Amino acid sequence: MLLPINWVKKYVEVDMSSKELADKLTMTGSNAEEVITLREGISNVVVGKILSVEPHSNADKLLVCKVDVGTETIQVVTGAGNVAAGQLVPVALHGSKLPGGITIKRGKLRGVESQGMLCSGEELELKDSDYPGAETDGILILQEYYPPGMDIKEALDLGGEVIDFEITSNRPDCLSVVGMAREIAAATGKSWSMPEIVLSPGVGSIENELQVEVENPDLCPRYLARVVKDIKIQPSPRWMRRHLAAAGVRPINNIVDITNYVMLELGQPMHAFDLDRVEGRKIIVRNARPGETLVTLDDKQRNLTPDMLVIADTGRPIALAGIMGGANSEITGETKQIVFESALFDGASVRMTSKKLGLRSESSSRFEKGLDINMALTAVDRAAQLVQELGAGTLVEGRLDVLGASTEKRKLTIQWEQINKLLALNLTAEQISGILTALGLEISVDGEYMTAIIPTYRNDIEGMADLAEEVARIYGYDRIPLTLMEGSASKGARTRKQKLIFSIKTALTGMGMHEAITYSFTSPHIYQKIGIGAADYPPVVRIANPLGEDQSIMRTTMLPSMLEVLSHNYNRRIENCSIFEINPIFIPKALPLTDLPDEMLTLAMGEYGENVDFYTLKGKVEVLASLLGLEDKLTFQPARHPALHPGRTAELLMDGKAIGLIGQIHPKTAENYETDAGTVLGELNLQAMLDQANTDRQYQALPRYPAVTRDLAFIVEKNVQAAEIAELIKKGGGSILEKVTLFDIYEGSQIPEGHKSMAYSLSYRADDRTLKDEEVNKAHQRIIDLLEKELGAKLR
Amino acid sequence: MREKLEQIKKKAMEAMEALHDLDQLEEFRVKTLGKKGELTLVLRGMGSLPPQERPVIGQLANEIRTALEKALGKKTVELKEAALEKRLEEETIDVTIPGKQPDLGKLHPLTKMLNELEEIFLGMGFDIAEGPEIEWDSYNFEALNIPQNHPARDVQDTFYINDNILLRTHTSPVQIRTMLKQKPPIKIICPGRVYRSDAVDATHSPIFHQIEGLVVDKNITMGDLKGVLDVFAKQVFGQETKTKFRPHHFPFTEPSAEVDVSCAICRGEGCRVCSHTGWIEILGAGMVHPKVLEYCGIDPKVYSGFAFGMGLDRITNLKYGIDDIRLLFENDIRFLKQF
């Protein structure tokens, strides 16, 4: 909200610079974002009185003027033909600055000394609304008398400063000049005042001109109207236009300007209807009827629904209550009589309608926050007063006031020491009541109790905590001491799950993987991109109002996220890339969603590059399994996934239940994502693994007796899996078989077609004795027999 | 005979001096002292000596043998040393050639920063609480004193799944869930991922991360809030860091504050990072609103509390001088490796 300092000074004394004021108010709750100096680009331009105009001796089109600039008379050469002796004009003196960074210096024009420049409206960047005639060609001729030498910004009221405040949604009262005057007064210890409203008697009686009926007082607790006749639509006076422009509102005409002026000054939105266009000369505040429409002032047709509140005449809606007027009752150049509306509408209702129609206005954003039921009355009278001051029309005597709610101030009684307790302060009852009184509350103290009568513009004050905030901000947050709470010592520890994730991340980074963090919403097209057929698309949680289709579903798999990251790096010629991410995926329990979806913590992994293959990723998963104490529960078995290579994909089973997948990507996936064909991916249900994880460890005695190592090489059919062989070896070896290591797989010459040679190193050991050769031989032979019998293995 | 022996010794000593490697030295030892060596041959000729001379010559021969063996031993050591030295010299490498680095993966900067912040709060006795990212509207808004059609909803542009379910706009619902199931004293931080429908640019991301904190107990004051956040700011940004509490409004706290810390880059002098103000806004905070406590079944007449919240992404960017939030989600390895 833009607060013109010159305007607020009408209602409160300001005895500090705007910068100091901005800082002060920031620390009392009105956050000042910027101090703006109006017309900062103009300096040292003054009012000059032209004493004489002579032709230039060397140029037909130039004139030489003698100009009284207050302190002296200077000579100025000008090219404009509209100057004459006796006129008052703006003069840019030597060393002056004009908008656009132009500096004026004395010099010679065609040999004649010129000590400055006479200015046009354009050169001062003035519009007709700033000063009549400012957009006309030639030097700006001032219409009124100003003493020569007076600063032009002061003379034309062009300057001044404006503070841009960020007003929080709980303080709609501060979205006004008088509201800020009150804040300034409380913050600086000055007094403030409201505009004094005095009306001359009007003509006739409003009862003969207009009727008002409110059908829904819940949504419109108060509706006030005044009527003005003999309207003369014309520009409003310069002081009013200046204030409006400084506050960021474009001046239009006297009637519209009055409504805006009152809104900015008092915080109460106003509307003016052309009374001749109000059918039946009756205003009805009611809900819209099914199928009704209204063309609003922005020339858009709005389709209304019965939950929306409208202002109607006897035939049709003529305004959207609290949001925007209708074109059918708009003020025009022909308007002869008007109705001023000043009302209170329910904030939630205004907000709902405004959201539904996608139509927000200065008025709606104020009503949404909840306004003052009493200010509506002040505002309609203030508008009437301005009509009389401006001579904009003839006021009809009286006002209509349909009141459906109390205008009484609320009372709040608290134990005032509670404020000290909450704030860690030691204020006296006098100090507290002093601050609250300055803010417009009426305070009485009775021992430990304090009763506050809350003005109707402070609907935000509901309880002790609200009063405490008022006290704290005016007393100064910076004066609240720094303390550290006492009380029971709490432990402060990560949970088991948090600790496990911490150690998993440490292990993964230790194995050379970088942690990625990607978005958890994604495109519905990812399924197609990873080769899943439309019939197999999983149920997904959809965002109703996504930023775009690409970010419209919550991911159910992290494989696409991994692929995108790998592709990003691959396309930047990064040779090796190994990444992981730990985040949830979102699985709906049922659709449409009636319960929150399952958020399944997932570990996704992906890598490509030199020395990367299926087994490098599998190895990392195995290390992780061992870290979590799950090595004995996990098995791998061949599996298929559309995104992955059909012969190089494994499912990860925990106690027989699938909990993840690893594999090299399918060539089509590599193509779709433009990434390395050797990329390997993995996705594991980390939640399931954490649930089963066992990180308790017991010391195992180091072996005291030597191990006996035997190698074993044999030929089996190519499709025999290492897991099967390992199983048989363990079975045959029995309890003395300590360790089985596969150290070579060979196919090629000397091996029959369709077969492979597998070489293992077996280590035998007993805890309690040195093994004898015969024992080892026996076990070893059992293994050989089993392999021959079960797999047709041929010993090499 | 004596002369012959002396001559052998002299010759042998001279010959030995000239030798340069261990093989030659061994050859020389065999030739001189071996079974068929010169000295042995001479001693074999002792039989021809008169008996009275034999002990004298024998003793001399033994002395010469001992001397030669000793010299030989010494020479062996010398040559071994020399050979080792030569080998070592040959094995010399260029130690300025870069090392063979094992791959060390890095934690994402957000995780790194989060770990750091968590350690600070763990140290102050806070637990770490978590909750779902897809949340009930009631926990995200209504419990926090933001009813339907409340203007405060504007500040947090929300992604909705349906009328009742949304993507949480802050981690405050975790506070609500905690207060609903746990009696005071409560002392938690709630880190997590949050969502707001902001279009992506250098400073905005529709997905970002927050850390909120909540303390509820008897006699918790605004002084405690200031104290805890002051300690926190000093630990993150350095001991000389100052904090500034400015009044603000949040529906879920009363009184509310925005908290600035003195700019760590310019130490309050004013620079580009702090927009020449000397201060950087990093936190929102306040005393838990009585209505919020009531919603959670905690009696505001008995208990009070404070809450605060900050953007992890923003603090991470400040800490590491990252000027574009998009970098955090692009996962370029060259970026990730820097932390």
Same domain, B123 and B219: yes
> How far apart are alpha carbons A645 and A694 in whole angstroms?
33
Residue A309: predicted pLDDT? 97
| Range scoring the smallest mean pLDDT among A137-151, A588-602, A609-623, B22-36 | B22-36
B81's CB contacts (< 8 A; 6+ apart) are none
Residue B310: predicted pLDDT? 97
Given a contact cutoff of 8 angstroms between Cβ atoms, the answer to whether A80 and A133 are in contact is no
The answer to whether position B102 is within a domain reads no
Nearest-Cα distance to chain A for B94, in Å, is 27
Given a contact cutoff of 8 angstroms between Cβ atoms, the answer to whether A665 and A686 are in contact is no
Scanning every residue of chain A, which has its alpha carbon at the shortest distance from the alpha carbon of B197?
A: A547
The answer to whether position B104 is within a domain reads no
A–B interface: beta-carbon pairs under 8 A: 247
Please write the tens of the pLDDT for every residue from A685-724: 999 999 999 999 999 889 999 999 999 999 999 999 999 9
| Range scoring the smallest mean pLDDT among A37-51, B60-74, B167-181, B189-203 | B60-74
Which candidate, B265, B264, B245, B266, places its Cα nearest to that of B256? B245
Same domain, B45 and B113: no
Please write the tens of the pLDDT for every residue from B62-101: 888 888 889 889 989 998 998 899 999 999 999 999 999 8
Please report the ipTM that was assigned to this predicted complex: 0.87
Q: Which domain holds residue B19?
A: 2-90
> How far apart are alpha carbons B135 and A750 in whole angstroms?
65
Is B207 in contact with A521 (Cβ distance < 8 A)? yes
**Would you tell me the crossing angle of helices A496-510 and A614-627 to the nearest 10 degrees?**
140
Residues 135-174 of B with CB under 8 A from A: 135-136, 147-152, 154-155, 159-162, 165, 167
Beta strands A514-515; A577-587: pairing state: parallel
A490 versus A263: the higher-pLDDT residue is A263
Is B226 in contact with A551 (Cβ distance < 8 A)? no
Residue A489: predicted pLDDT? 62
Decide if pLDDT at B15 tops 90: no
Task: State what percent of residues in chain A have pLDDT above 70.
Answer: 99
The answer to whether position B97 is within a domain reads no
Same domain, B155 and B218: yes
DSSP annotation of A126: -
Round the CA-based radius of gyration of chain A to a whole number and report it.
Answer: 42
Decide if pLDDT at B5 tops 90: no
Phi, psi of A437 (to 5 degrees): -65, -40
Same domain, B148 and B297: yes
The answer to whether position B98 is within a domain reads no
| Range scoring the smallest mean pLDDT among A437-441, B131-135, B272-276 | B272-276
Same domain, B126 and B185: yes
Please write the tens of the pLDDT for every residue from B105-149: 999 999 999 999 999 999 999 999 999 999 999 999 999 999 887
Decide if pLDDT at B155 tops 80: no
Which candidate, B306, B229, B245, places its Cα nearest to that of A28? B245
Task: Average the pLDDT over A91-96 and give the result.
Answer: 94
Residue A743: predicted pLDDT? 94
Q: Identify which of A168, A578, A596 has the shortest CB distance to residue B134.
A: A596
A748: left (phi over 0), alpha (psi -120 to 50) or beta: left
Decide if pLDDT at B27 tops 60: yes
Same domain, B83 and B125: no
Amino acid at A696: D
Please write the tens of the pLDDT for every residue from A321-378: 999 999 999 999 899 999 999 999 999 999 999 999 999 999 999 999 999 999 999 9
Same domain, B85 and B196: no
Confidence tier at B34 by pLDDT (50, 70, 90): confident
Spell out which residues of chain B touch residue A584, defining contact as CB-CB under 8 Å: 133
User: pTM (2 decimals)?
Assistant: 0.86
Looking at residue B325, which CATH number applies to its domain? 3.30.930.10
The answer to whether position B284 is within a domain reads yes
B204 touches chain A (CB under 8 A): no
Task: Average the pLDDT over B206-230 and give the result.
Answer: 96
The answer to whether position B226 is within a domain reads yes
Same domain, B162 and B21: no
> How far apart are alpha carbons B310 and B307 in whole angstroms?
11
A528's CB contacts (< 8 A; 6+ apart) are A534
Task: State what percent of residues in chain A have pLDDT above 90.
Answer: 91
| Range scoring the smallest mean pLDDT among A275-279, A478-482, A754-758, B146-150 | B146-150
Same domain, B58 and B165: no
Please write the tens of the pLDDT for every residue from A196-229: 999 999 999 999 999 999 999 999 999 999 999 9
Spell out which residues of chain B touch residue A477, defining contact as CB-CB under 8 Å: 245-247, 255, 257
> How far apart are alpha carbons B267 and B337 in whole angstroms?
29
Confidence tier at B156 by pLDDT (50, 70, 90): low
The answer to whether position B11 is within a domain reads yes
Residue A154: predicted pLDDT? 86
Out of B90, B124, B146, a domain closes at: B90
Is B125 in contact with A491 (Cβ distance < 8 A)? yes
The answer to whether position B17 is within a domain reads yes
Is A473 in contact with B218 (Cβ distance < 8 A)? no
* Number of structural domains chain B divides into: 2
Residue A453: predicted pLDDT? 97
What is the average pLDDT value for chain A, to the nearest integer? 94
Is B254 in contact with A469 (Cβ distance < 8 A)? yes
B272 touches chain A (CB under 8 A): no
> How far apart are alpha carbons A165 and A149 in whole angstroms?
35
β-sheet bridge partners, residue A689: none
Please write the tens of the pLDDT for every residue from A174-190: 999 999 999 999 999 99
Task: Average the pLDDT over A621-641 and give the result.
Answer: 95
Same domain, B234 and B204: yes
Same domain, B56 and B134: no
Same domain, B129 and B68: no
Confidence tier at A96 by pLDDT (50, 70, 90): very high
